[in-house]
């Protein structure tokens, strides 16, 4: 019998509510949920909680679905103290959806930074979704020829080598896909300087 859940996600919270409620009401709802999660942590029912998102951490500040990671952290600290359980987020990131790395839409130490940079500063671990863009990046010519690997492995290598990414989550429907994607384990991730050299090449 399961006694404790390691990680609970609040799934697409602002994306699913903001069309029907104000931002102020959403923040109140978020506070109520965090209050519940912190209570369940005290009861030993969950270890950590986080937010599984699609838009909110990778859109510009003026976007209706935008959310500041610092605002969420402040609520978590107010309720759970410095040892609060808000330690994870999940967001889309791949060679096409690169906003998590490239868009400076968060604040840390008075500076505009990306969500990946902010998460490293604030001690938030980041899982990424859709590394293959739901298969779209496997089409011929969809992925730049930057390393001698199969298209799927190129995508995984880029994402998992990105500073601030804990791990990409890959949807796999067949044993063949699983076997192919597991080949990435035989290859070390790019070092940080190698990654940024590659990024410069891809964006120049």
* DSSP string of 8-58, one letter each residue: EEEESHHHHHTTTS-HHHHHHHHHHHHHHHHHHHHTTSEEEEEEE-SSTTS
pTM reported for the whole predicted model: 0.93
What's the pLDDT score for residue 106?
A: 99
Q: What is the pLDDT of residue 69?
A: 98
Q: Point out the residues of the chain with pLDDT beneath 70.
A: none
| Cα separations in angstroms, 83 against 45, 57, 77 | 16, 23, 8
Q: What is the rounded CA–CA span in Å between residue 68 and residue 78?
A: 16
Q: From residue 164, how far is each of 5, 125, 128, 138, 157 by CA, in Å?
A: 24, 7, 10, 24, 14
């Amino acid at each position: 019998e399961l006694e404790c859940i390691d990680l609970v996600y609040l799934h697409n919270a602002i994306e699913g509510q903001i069309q029907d409620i104000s931002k102020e009401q959403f923040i109140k709802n978020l506070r109520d949920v965090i209050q519940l999660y912190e209570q369940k942590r005290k009861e030993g029912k969950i270890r950590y909680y986080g937010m599984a998102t699609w838009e909110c951490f990778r859109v510009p500040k003026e976007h209706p679905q935008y959310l500041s990671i610092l605002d969420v952290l402040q609520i978590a600290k107010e309720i759970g103290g410095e040892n609060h359980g808000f330690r994870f987020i999940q967001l889309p990131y791949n060679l096409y959806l690169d906003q998590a790395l490239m868009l400076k839409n968060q604040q840390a130490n008075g500076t505009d930074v990306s969500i990946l940079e902010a998460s490293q500063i604030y001690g938030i671990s980041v899982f990424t979704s859709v590394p293959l863009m739901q298969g779209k990046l496997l089409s011929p010519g969809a992925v730049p020829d930057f390393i001698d690997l199969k298209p799927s492995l190129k995508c995984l290598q880029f994402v998992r080598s990105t500073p601030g990414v804990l791990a990409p989550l890959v949807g796999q429907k067949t044993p063949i896909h699983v076997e192919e994607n597991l080949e990435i384990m035989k290859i070390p991730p790019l070092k940080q300087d190698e990654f940024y050299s590659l990024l410069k090449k891809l964006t120049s």
